[in-house]
Amino acid sequence: MKIFLRSVWGYTKPYFLSRAGWLPSLLLAVAIAFQLIVVAAEVARNQWRNDFFESLQKRDWDEFVHQFWVYLVIAAVLIVGTVYQTYFIKSLSVRWRRWLTEHFVNRWLDDASHYRMKLLPVRGDNPDQRIADDTRKFAENALSLCVGLIGAVVTLASFITVLWLISPPVSVSFMGEQRVVPGLLVWCALIYSAIGTWVAHLIGRYLIPLNYQHDRLEGDFRFDLVRVRDNGEQIATLHGEQVEKDILAGRFARVVDNWFALIRREKLLGFFSEGFKHASLYFPYLVLAPFYFAETLQFGQLMQAGSAFSIVRASLSYFVTAYQQLAEWVAVTQRLDGLDADLSAAQKLGTMHSCESEPAADMPGLRAENLVAWNVDRDRKLGTLPSLHLVPGETHTLRSRSGSGKTSIVRALVSLWPFTSGRLEISGRKLVLPQNAYMPPGTLKRALVYPLGEHDVDDATATDALAAVGLSSLAGHLQDESVVGRLSGGERQRIAFARALIYRPDVLVMDEPTSWLDQQAHDELFRILKLRLPRAIVLSTST
C-alpha cells in the first residue's frame, strides 16, 4: 500500500504543481464544490422526506402540495450539481491524461529509450498500450475515487448526526446492570459496513492481478493484429495466413480465459455488493419497526431514518461499492510504475556506452580505434572495427559477408548500442540511414524530409531532391498520403538518399543503403551524394 500511494503521489504532485499552474487545482476545487452542493441537497432531501410523509400522515393537503414545490427546488439543485460535478471531473481527467501522456511519450522517445527498452533482460509488455490506455484509466479512476471519497466523508459527517438524533436509545443489560445505548442505527450502520468492507476485500482482492493480466493480454493481442497488418505482403507471399490464424487464436484464447476468470470474480463481488446494498434498504425499518408500532416513533421519522441509514451505510461502505474501480486503479498504477521502471532502466543502459571518447574536434571528423560491439551479456563479439579515420569529403565502405556484424558496428558508431568498447570520436552534424528506410505516416513530403518537419523544408527543395534521386515522377504528390504505402523497396531507399540531400549532414552513416537497387543505381546515387555533399563524410556498409 505504501508503494502504491507513493506511486500515485508521484503522478499527481508534478501535474498539479506543473506549468499548468492553477487551472488543475481550480477544476478539482470546483468539482469538489459541486460534490458538496450535492451532499447539501441530499441533506435537504432527507429532511424533506420527514416533512412530506408527515403531511401524508396528517392528511394535510396544503402542506402536501407545498412539499412538492420544495422537492422541485431540491431536485433542480441535485441535477445541476451532479451534471456539473461530472463535467468538471471529466474536463480535469482529460487534461491530466494529456500531461501524463506527454510525460511518458517524452521519456519513451528521448535518448532512444524506446529502442533500448528492447535490450532489457526483463521488460514490461506493450508500452504503447500503457501510454494510450493506462494513463486514461489512471486519471479517470483517481479523480472519480478522490471526489467520491470526499463526498462520502462529508456525507457521513452530515448524516451521522441526523441518524444519531433520530435513532431511539436502547436499554441493554451489561454485567448485571441496565445501560442506555444512544444512536442505535449509527452503531448498526458501523457494524454492517465494517463487515461488508471486510467481505468485499476478501472477494475482490483477486481483481487486481486479473485486471493487470487483462490489460497485458489485450495489448498482446492488439500488437499481433497490427503486426499482421504491417507485414501483410510477406504473409500473403508466403501463404502464411493459417499460421497467423493459429497465432491470433492462441493469443485471443488467453484473453478469453482471463476474461472469464475476471467476470467470475466480478460476479461473486457483484452478488455480495448488490445483496449488501438491497439488504440495507430495509434493514433500518426492521430495526426501528418495534419503536414505530409502539408509537414512540412517527411515520415521517421512520422514513427519514431509513433514508439517512442508507446514506450513512453507503458512505461507510464506499470501498465496497467502489472496490472494482479501485482494483482497476491499482492495476493501472502498477502498469505505469512498470513502464517508469523500464524507462529508467533504458536510460541507465544508454549511459553504459564504454567507448573512450575524445573531445569534439573543431571540424567534422570520424575516428574509431579497436571498436567492438558486444552482445548483451558481453561474452561474445557481434562486430569489430580495428581502425578507421575519416575527414571531410572522404567516403568509405565497410565490406564483409552478411551476418558479420556490420549493422552492430553502425549502431556502435552512432552510440545507439550500449555494449561497446574501444575509442570513438564523431563530430559534426550526423545522419544515420538504416537498411530498411522508415516511412512515417502522413504525406509523401513528411516521409521525404524526415527527421525534419514538413514546414522546415520548402516544396522546391523537396522536389529538387526527388528529381536528383530519380523520383521526379512523384514530385506532384508531395501532399498525397496514399503514396508512401505504395512505395517499393528500391523507391524507399531512393527516398532515404533524398533525405540526406535535404538534411545535409557533416557525417552520413548508411547501412546497406542500396540493397534493393542494382549496381548502376548504386553508383549513380553515390555520385549524386558526392556532387551535392562534397564535404560530407560518408560511411556505408555493403556485402
Q: Are 290 and 399 members of one domain?
A: no
Q: Are 211 and 173 members of one domain?
A: yes
| Helices 519-532 and 489-503: angle between axes, nearest 10 degrees | 10
pLDDT computed for residue 465 by the predictor: 95
Q: Are 168 and 197 members of one domain?
A: yes
pLDDT computed for residue 172 by the predictor: 52
Sign, Cα dihedral of 410, 415, 417, 418 = positive
Q: Are 212 and 259 members of one domain?
A: yes
Q: Are 61 and 194 members of one domain?
A: yes
pLDDT computed for residue 226 by the predictor: 85
User: Helices (DSSP H) in 17-126: which residue ranges?
Assistant: 23-58, 61-109, 113-116
pTM of the model: 0.77
Q: Are 511 and 403 members of one domain?
A: yes
Q: Are 343 and 400 members of one domain?
A: no
- Low-confidence residues in the chain, pLDDT < 70: 19-20, 168-181, 183, 233, 350-362
DSSP state of 433: E
pLDDT computed for residue 108 by the predictor: 92
Instruction: Check if the beta carbon of residue 239 is closer than 8 Å to that of residue 149.
Output: no
Strands 381-390 and 395-399 turn out to be unpaired
Q: Are 339 and 393 members of one domain?
A: no
Question: C-alpha distances in angstroms, 89 versus 29, 33, 187, 216, 333?
Answer: 10, 11, 34, 27, 19
**CATH code at 467?**
3.40.50.300
Q: Are 62 and 115 members of one domain?
A: yes
Q: Looking at 350, 368, 400, which one is the last position of a domain?
A: 350
pLDDT computed for residue 524 by the predictor: 94
Q: Are 340 and 394 members of one domain?
A: no
What is the number of domains present in the chain? 2
- What is the per-residue burial (b if ≥16 Cβ within 10 Å, else e) of 175-210? eeeeeeeebbbbebbeebbeebbeebeebbebbbbb
User: Helices (DSSP H) in 110-183: which residue ranges?
Assistant: 113-116, 127-129, 135-166
State the Cα–Cα distance between residues 114 and 112, nearest whole angstrom.
5
Instruction: Check if the beta carbon of residue 392 is closer than 8 Å to that of residue 537.
Output: yes
Q: Looking at 319, 350, 381, which one is the last position of a domain?
A: 350
State the Cα–Cα distance between residues 468 and 473, nearest whole angstrom.
11
State the Cα–Cα distance between residues 127 and 291, nearest whole angstrom.
61
- Range of 513's domain? 357-542
Q: Specify the length of the chain in residues.
A: 543
Q: Are 444 and 519 members of one domain?
A: yes
**CATH code at 123?**
1.20.1560.10
Q: Are 131 and 211 members of one domain?
A: yes
Q: Looking at 350, 365, 391, which one is the last position of a domain?
A: 350
